[in-house]
Amino acid sequence: MAFESSTGYAAPSASNLDLDASLPMFNIERVSLQFSISSDFVAAAVANNVLILALSTGRILRIDLDNPQDIDDIDLPKKASEIGIIRRLFLDPSASHLIVATTLAENYYLHAQSRVPKALSRLKGVPIESISWNPSQPTASTREILVGASDGNIYEVYIEPSSEFYRREERYLKGVYKTSDGPVIGLWTDLVPGKPDLRRVIIATPGTFLHFAGRIGRHGSEGSGSIFSKLFETESATVHEISNVTSSAPSVLSISPETSDTPSLDPTNTERVFAWLTSQGVLHGKLYLSSDTSDLGSRVLADSKMLPRSQVPPSQTASGRPRKSQDAVTSMILSQWHILQLVEGRIVAINRLDDTIVLDQVVLEPGQSALGLVADIKKNTYWLFTTQEIFEIVITDESRDIWKILLKAQQFDAASQYAKTSYQKDSVATASGDHLVGKGQYLEAAVVYGRSTKPFEQVALTFIDKGEQDALRKYLLTKLATLKKSAIMQRIMVATWLIELYMAKLNTLDDTITTKAELSESMNTAETQDRLSVIRKEYQEFVTKYKSDLDRKTVYEIISSHGREEELLYFATVVNDYNYVLAYWVQRERWQESLDVLKKQTDPEIFYKYSSVLMAHVPIELIEIMMRQANLEARKLIPAFLNYNKITKAPLEKNQAIRYLLFEINQHQSTDAAVHNTIISIYASHPTTDESALLSYLEGQSIAHEQNYDADFALRLCIQHKRVQSCVHIYSSMGQYVQAVDLAIKYDEVELASNVAERSETDPALRKKLWLAVAKKVISQSSGIKTAIEFLRRVNLLRIEDLIPFFPDFVVIDDFKEEICNALEDYSRKIDELKKEMDESEDTAAHIKTDIKALDQRYAIVEPGERCYACGLPLLARQFFVFPCQHAFHSDCLARKVVELAGIAKGKRIAELQMEVSKSVSVGPKRENAIKELDALVGSSCVLCSELAVRLIDEPFISATDDIEEWAL
């Protein structure tokens, strides 16, 4: 099948379907058939893009509209003369099930997977007028469906296709209801949300509209019996009747297609629209869905309205004037928003919301007969069939003007839903806001105005004049959310204004609570307190979200002018202005709050800035916080520590500056000289006389072999504060032992001076000098010779003669006669020891001379059977060497071994000498010298027991050529 336009309108392309109002909403296109037909069409049906055509000859054509070349040509099992002409075709929404009704009340069933229609024997003789398909849209079987007959009976039937010849297609057939006023021209069944066994059934006759809703019956197995009997027996119908029914006027029940504009996650829970064509007009309304079925029918009919036939314009005469008589409506279908009627060869489309006519077009030629209008409710396509032709009604952007209609009806939420362009949405928002203001619903209007383009000044002044500060605040919030990021100035101004409004509102609520007054008759003090909490939370959320749109200085001034301390600090915290927060608390000497803020900081500059004042008031807590920071530079905290040390009177073990400096030194291994100098300064300047802490620090530096402090600075400081032990330690660490001893002696620290002299790592002369200085001090301080003598016994380095010059002239020698005698005896012993060593040396020299003389007469005895230790051959066979260790080798064997073990240079020289000796035939000095040098090189040491043998340590005892059995035990 192919499509071409027969009305002069261009068929819309996919590229210009996007909300282009210049395109016509309705196009009627003639379908060009690509096959020949031998007889007229007598019935047609469309569902799920499948077209079913029935011919007067009894043939049925099944055409897939997605593939128009795919056409199934199906014949009924009997001739038309036997069963009659096909009268009606009923195709379910899924296009899986087809029921064919003939003029002789013969009914046939055809499944989508079959080409052979099956007679419905139980429905034989039932003139079918309408069918209500199962709302679950099954495909394998029809499940429970309702069939309406021309005699007013309604049957429930369950059809399941079967391949068995004698098995009926219908599982059961049961009459469930009967109308009293004519044929059942329309049936509809849908699911009611809430429970799976709730159903709604609509029955339409030419004069009566019945609405049933309730619970259906249940059986043990599917298809075993009627389920709708219970509904019709127990529920009462909501009825709408038409008086003065014209029997010849067509009557049709149509249900709107599945909506595509607002898709639902659950298709069964989408409200549809019905239209009932009667002789008086079209009754249409929404099929509401509700789990409460008691008044569902009443709601449906109460909100329905009648489109009278007089609303349909009459046809024109040949002269172009309207006819006086009312045209007959022969068919009717529903689109999503319009009622389409076939009126005397014209198609008239009327918007069901406002009854406006959007299409009135002549389609059929005069005298041309039409089968009617058909809608594919699954695919939203619409068709007009005649006995010879097919027309498709193409609808483009059907909902384009719906927003206007809904807006005119003041259905603002629905209008906003269908407004697509920014202009449409803005128009809806503006009108909605004006309407809400008129009703006094200012808060709701504020939100709507915020999404519109209504002038900002007008809206703001409206709320200000009405005294609606809350509405103004909500409007500004909504407006701020819609302003572009590039509108920097506008965003700053609106956000700043909101700060002012929040502060004013909070102050008002605080005043109300303070005076215990009531804001209104419905709000007491407790409710005001709750409202205060809500507004404060809104403010906090606002500044958190829009902090980038707020100028800090301006906001500080606004909040400060209102005296809102909590809000001021919250804003400063949100914008990470911790300097401001800390300065605020510090100025008010609120130390705990200051520390709470500081705990959350990681910026070192904040610590440097406020460390001095905080060290002066909360040093312990501050040090605890700083010790948890990993990015502080201790040298930048030194001014705060020195200031703290100046004003504090705490002992050294509780001094917090020392605590932190030691933490830096011990935990962070700080080598910064400023840090070390500072701790020395604090130790040295402390009023205590105990310098053990300072000395411990200095000794710790010496033990670690480090000196990160400035020694000259430390020395001057210790001298200034008379820290003698520390000075002596520093002098000693600098290697200035003389100065260390002199300083200790100066302050009468003899024991300290002795320790320096004892531990000094110097040459003996310097140590003796140091001890002499100590001895001089000891002698000058002693009251008698006895003390000096005890000191002399303690020091082994000094002698009595070293100390004699230090004694005064009047000292009698008898006082230390014993010491002098001991010294003389000691000297005598040393002289005897030296004499003995000289005698022993003289004897050793004589023995060496004797051994030298004996070397000339030394010899070795070689036995006749002696063999070479290298080759194992008799030793006397050729020239050989014998060593004192009794190892003997042939000269050439020994030379090869020495070359192997010796270095490259020595081996090369031996080879050169061997070559020179072998070439010289005559005896001469040169040859003799070569032989002497060769013998010296080869025979210098035994290759088995000298240093050369050490190089053989990694060689195995047994070589590959040795007989292993000789080594067996």
Q: pLDDT-based confidence at 316, cuts 50/70/90?
A: low
92 and 2: one domain?
yes
Residue 342: the pLDDT is 94
Same domain assignment for residues 487 and 569: yes
CB–CB of 506/536 below 8 Å? Answer: yes
Residue 19: band (very low, low, confident or very high) from pLDDT cuts 50, 70, 90: very low
Residues near 216 by beta carbon (within 8 Å), at least 6 away in sequence: 197, 198, 199, 227, 228, 230, 231
Q: Is there a contact between 34 and 68 (Cβ–Cβ < 8 Å)?
A: yes
Regarding whether 917 and 813 lie in a shared domain, the answer is no
3-state secondary structure of 241: strand
Instruction: Tell me: do 105 and 3 sit in the same domain.
Output: yes
Is 280 inside a domain boundary?
Answer: no
Tell whether 507 and 560 lie within a shared domain: yes
Q: What is the pTM of this model?
A: 0.58
The pLDDT, as a whole number, for residue 3 is 39
Beta carbons within 8 Å of 869's beta carbon, 6+ residues apart: 887, 888, 889, 944
Number of H helices, E strands in the chain: 32, 31
Is 767 domain-assigned? yes
Question: Domain span at residue 53?
Answer: 1-7+32-119
- Residue 784 belongs to some domain of the structure: yes
Specify the CATH number for the domain of residue 57.
2.40.10.480
> What percentage of the chain exceeds 70 in pLDDT?
83
- Both 2 and 87 in a single domain? yes
Name residues whose C-beta falls within 8 Å of residue 881's C-beta, 6 or more positions apart in sequence: 888, 889, 890, 891, 894, 935, 938, 939
Confidence at 582, pLDDT banded by 50, 70, 90: confident
In this predicted model, what pLDDT tens digit does every residue of 900-912 receive, in sequence order? 777 777 878 888 8
User: Within this chain, do residues 616 and 604 fall inside the same structural domain, yes or no?
Assistant: yes
Same domain flag for 491 and 419? no
DSSP symbol at 322:
B
Instruction: Count the domains in the chain.
Output: 6
Domain shared by 431 and 489, yes or no: no
Three-class DSSP category at 877: helix
E strand or H helix that includes residue 891? helix 891-901
- The pLDDT tens digits of the residues spanning 527-569 come to 778 888 898 999 999 999 998 999 989 999 999 898 888 888 8
**Beta carbons of 699 and 689 less than 8 angstroms apart:** no
| Residue 806 maps to a domain | yes
Beta carbons of 158 and 144 less than 8 angstroms apart: yes
- List the single range of 131-145, 456-470, 511-525, 641-655 with lowest mean pLDDT: 511-525
**How many Å apart are CA 447 and CA 444, to the nearest integer?**
6
In a domain, 418, yes or no: yes
Asked whether residue 151 is domain-assigned, the answer is: no
Lowest mean pLDDT among 192-196, 356-360, 435-439: 435-439
d(CA 105, CA 103): 5
Q: Which of 6-15, 320-329, 425-434, 685-694 has the lowest mean pLDDT?
A: 6-15
Instruction: Return the pLDDT at 818.
Output: 61
Query: Do the domain assignments include residue 74?
Result: yes
963 with 909, same domain: the answer is yes
Q: Please indicate, yes or no, whether residues 513 and 488 belong to a single structural domain of this protein.
A: yes
Is 60 exceeded by the pLDDT of residue 367?
yes
H helix runs in 483-590, sequence order: 488-515, 525-545, 552-561, 565-574, 578-587
Whether residue 521 lies inside any domain: the answer is yes
What is the distance between the alpha carbons of residues 253 and 882, in angstroms, rounded to a whole number?
140
Q: Are residues 441 and 549 in the same domain?
A: no
Round to whole Å and give the CA distance between 693 and 648: 18
